[in-house]
Amino acid sequence: MKSKKLLAIIAGVAVMLPLAACGNKAVATTSGGKITESEYYSSMKQTSQGKAVLQQMILDKVLQKQYGKQVSDAQVNKEFNSYKSQYGSEFSAVLQQQGLTTKTFKNQIRSRLLLEAAVRHYSTFSNDAINKQWKNFEPKVQTAEILVGSKEDAQNIISQLDNAKGDKFKEFKKLAKSKSTDSSNKSAGGVVPAFDNTSSSVDSAYKKAAFKLKTGEYTKDPVKTDNGYQVIYMVKHPAKGAKSAHIDDLKTQIVEENMNKQSFMAKVVSKVLKKGNVSIKDKDLKNILDGYLNPGSSNNNGSIGTSNANSGSSK
């Protein structure tokens, strides 16, 4: 399935530019003279991008101090490898398109995980909250898809599956490799990352159709999504089971949903920053955090700490 930008999982995490440099060392020389670090810094701090970088750097520092023990290198590497596996041979190209390196992308993953730890700390897991989450709960399902440009093409694929003898999934993967227009997964037979009911990066029509399928079933009608028409195969749809067996899953879903609520995130960022005892030394930037320390004020542009933290691809 076609993915949104790789950074959709950490939207709002700023690119780490060298804003803090402030010496007289030249960062560039020209026939008209040199550009010093202090000149560069003075120029950058006046821009919205430069301010966003500083805001994010401050947030990362205080989050690391407060929640760093809860985010290990192993967690960061696991998430990184999951994206690397998802994008396959295209991964390096996708990173390059986003202006990222392995190091900077891992830094952004760590930033998101730290923020997630803070959101978990401030989330409520009362019986009422758990019961409410349970009503819409769907366990993570594994699907495969074939994306085409027209309803007729999708219907033809469904007909071929209906008439196929033997292993339907084997035939589905064969058709995905030859017919799907989704280059991100066709070589893998259309198999896509698992998702549940809280996966905001997944097209709602795709989710609705997928959750109706049992393991081994495929959609009998083309599914219209933002990317085109899709045929969906359910590789694995676990039974919902008892609520008691999914308490940890339900808590995680509550956290994920809270990370998609701008008002909730603004309050979390405010509490984290206040606890971090931040002191801005540059008088020109002294008000840079006012909007975040006082959520709801007119100065809050929402550029940090209000990210969509869900991973996975959009369909």
Instruction: List strands edge to edge, sheet with 142-148.
Output: 142-148, 228-236, 223-225
Any idea which residue has 């809270």 for tokens? 258
pTM: 0.73
Distance CA 215, CA 229 (A): 21
pLDDT, position 22: 58
Distance CA 4, CA 93 (A): 14
Contact 230, 181 (CB under 8 A): no
pLDDT, mean over the chain = 86
Return the structure tokens found at 277.
Answer: 């005892």
pLDDT surpassing 90 at residue 10? no
pLDDT, position 260: 86
CB atoms within 10 A of CB 135: 6
pLDDT surpassing 70 at residue 174? yes
Distance CA 264, CA 250 (A): 18
Return the structure tokens found at 167.
Answer: 């292993």
pLDDT, position 8: 42
Across the range 136-152, mean pLDDT stands at 95
pLDDT surpassing 50 at residue 231? yes
pLDDT, position 183: 85
Going along the chain from its start, the domains and CATH numbers come out as: 6-127+248-293 (no CATH), 140-236 (3.10.50.40)
Return the structure tokens found at 59.
Answer: 């947030």
Across the range 45-51, mean pLDDT stands at 91
Residue among 124, 115, 109 at smallest CA distance from 271:
115
Query: What is the CA angle 3-6-9, rounded to 5?
Result: 100
The tens digit of pLDDT for each residue in 113-124 reads 999 999 999 999
66-102 burial, b at 16+ Cβ within 10 Å, e below that, comes to bbeeebeeeebeebbeebbebbeeebeebbeeeebee
pLDDT surpassing 80 at residue 99? yes
The tens digit of pLDDT for each residue in 269-293 reads 999 999 999 999 999 999 999 988 8
> Residue 81 — very low, low, confident or very high, per pLDDT cuts 50/70/90?
very high
Residue among 119, 57, 125, 112 at smallest CA distance from 269:
119
For residues 19 and 38, the model is more confident at 38
